[in-house]
Amino acid sequence: MNLKAKAIMIAKAFSVWWGIFLIIGCCVGFSLKILSGFLFVSGDMPDFDVIFFVPMLIAGSFLLALISNLISILIYSTPVRKMRRRLNRIYDADGYSKEYIDTLLANCKGNLKNKNYIELAFIHDNMGSHTAAVNILRQIDIVSVTDIAHSTGNFYTPAYFYAVSMLIYLNSGDNELAAQAYENGKLYIDTLEKDEFIVYAKALYLLYSGIRSEDGDDDEFLRKLPSAHLIKIQNHGANNIILVIKAYCMFYMGLVEKSEQFAAAAAHSKLSPVAEKHLKNLYAKFKENPVLEETPEPKPAVEQIL
C-alpha cells in the first residue's frame, strides 16, 4: 500500500476513536455544566468554565484516541502474527499439508474469516482443486468486504480477493472471469502498488491477457516492474509461488536471464504441485534458449492432499 493510502487508512481509524471520545467528553462536559450550576447556586463551587474545558476536551480526547488506536492495532495484529508464524513453520516442514489447512479453517472467524478463506481458495487452486477454490471464493461476501474497506480505508482484503480470483481463473483458462475480476478489483489492486503478491498477480494478468489500457499506464507499470522495490508478504508458501510468477513475467517481458534467476530460486524452494508444473513448463522454454546456462531441476512437489 502506498504512503498516501496507508495514511488515509490510519487517519480514518484514528478519527473514529477521536470522535467517540469527543462525544463522551461533550456528554461529560454537559453534565458538569449542569452540576456546576446547581453547586454554584448553593455557593459550594465556582461556575463551570467552558473556555478552559474545551481545550482540555480536545487534548484529552486526542490522547485517549491515540492510545486506544494503538491498543486496537496490537490486539488485532498479535493473533494474526502468531497464526502466520505457525503456518509458516508447518509449510516449511510439510508444505500445504492437512495440518496447514486445518489451522486456517480453525481461524476462519472474526476479522480473519475472509482473509483465511481467500488463502484457502489460493491453496486449493495450487493443489489442483480448481472447483473447490471457486466454491470457497463464492462463500466470501465481497459486498460487505468492500464496504468495510471503504469505511476503514484498508483495501488489503478486497485487493487480495480480486488478485487471487485473477490467478485462479487464469490458471483454469477462464480469461473472461479473470478479466471481470481485474476490472472489479482494479481500484483496490492499484492502491497496493508496493505489495509484491498484488503487483505480480496484476503483471501476470496483463502479460497473459495481452490487454493494455489506451493511455499506456499498464505498459509503464510493466516497464517499471523489474526495478521496482516491493514489499514481500509474510507468507512462505505464497512467496515461493511468487518466484514462479516472477520468472514467468520476466520471461514474457523479454528479460530471460532475470527470469532464469527467479526460476532457479523457485527450484530450490518448496512448491505446490501446480506451481511446480508451471516451473517445469518454463524450464522447457529455457532449453530453447541457448544463452542460458544449466539450471537445477525443481524439487519434488509437496504431497497432494486434496
> Which candidate, 288, 254, 253, 249, places its Cα nearest to that of 266?
249
* pLDDT, position 161: 97
* Residue whose C-alpha is closest to residue 302's, from 42, 77, 93: 93
Look at 170-179, 205-214, 227-236, 246-255 and tell me which has the smallest mean pLDDT.
205-214
C-alpha cell belonging to residue 283 = 524450464
Tell me the mean pLDDT in the region 241-252. Answer: 94
d(CA 233, CA 241): 12
3-state secondary structure 211-271: CCCCCCHHHHHHHHHHHCCCECCCCHHHHHHHHHHHHHHHHHCCCHHHHHHHHHHHHCCCC
**Mean pLDDT, rounded, of the chain:** 82
The confidence band for 302, taking pLDDT boundaries of 50, 70 and 90, is very low
- Looking at per-residue pLDDT, the higher value among 88 and 65 belongs to 88
Q: How confident is the model at residue 298 (pLDDT cuts 50, 70, 90)?
A: very low
Q: pLDDT higher for 245 or 2? A: 245
What one-character-per-residue DSSP string does 103-141 give?
Answer: HHHHT-SGGGHHHHHHHHHHHHHHTT-HHHHHHHHHTS-
pLDDT at position 229 over 50: yes
pTM of the model: 0.75
Helix, strand, coil percentages (3-state) for the chain, rounded to 5, are 75, 0, 25
Q: Is the pLDDT of residue 38 over 80?
A: no
pLDDT tens-digit profile of 70-120? 776 666 677 788 899 999 999 999 999 999 999 999 998 887 899 999 999
> Quick one: average pLDDT of 158-180?
93
- Residue, of 245 and 38, whose pLDDT is higher: 245
pLDDT band at 291 (very low <50, low <70, confident <90, very high): very low
pLDDT at position 152: 77
Percent of the chain surpassing pLDDT 90: 46
N residues, the chain? 306
Listed range (186-195, 269-278, 281-290) with the worst mean pLDDT:
281-290
